[in-house]
Amino acid sequence: MRIKFFLALLLMVLLVAGGFWYSGSGIKLTDKDVLLVGDFENSTGDAVFDGSLREAVSIGLAQSPLLNLVSAEKVAEAMRSRSLAANTPVDR
């Protein structure tokens, strides 16, 4: 009985310690970090969904005070600087 209790206690301590270690090793975002939401491929065949998923994801992420999204203007500027059309999908 004591061995089972000791093993259960040891397992709990290891899980808690692992949780603290894992949570502290994440990537920390700064004010200078930005997030680019890429384009999604509409495989439904219905044109009404073209661009709607990207827009919905962008709106949802923009509500977070911890995330900075790349603006559409900056994406268009980057496309022009690479001699790409403005409607080129951002998928890589």
The verdict on residue 87 lying in a domain is no
Tell me phi and psi for residue 58, to 5 degrees.
-60, -45
The verdict on residue 14 lying in a domain is no
Structure tokens at 62: 């923009």
For the stretch 45-61, pLDDT in tens is 888 888 888 888 889 98
> Smallest Cα–Cα separation from 53: which of 37, 34, 71, 66?
37
Domain containing 32 equals 27-81
Residue 51 pLDDT: 81
Q: How many domains does the chain have?
A: 1
DSSP state of 35: B
The verdict on residue 57 lying in a domain is yes
Residue 85 pLDDT: 83
The verdict on residue 90 lying in a domain is no
- Residue 22 to residue 16: CA distance in whole angstroms: 10
Structure tokens at 71: 């603006």
The verdict on residue 10 lying in a domain is no
The verdict on residue 72 lying in a domain is yes
> Smallest Cα–Cα separation from 79: which of 69, 92, 66, 64?
92
SS3 label, residue 69? strand
The verdict on residue 62 lying in a domain is yes
| Whole-model pTM over 0.75 | no
The verdict on residue 1 lying in a domain is no
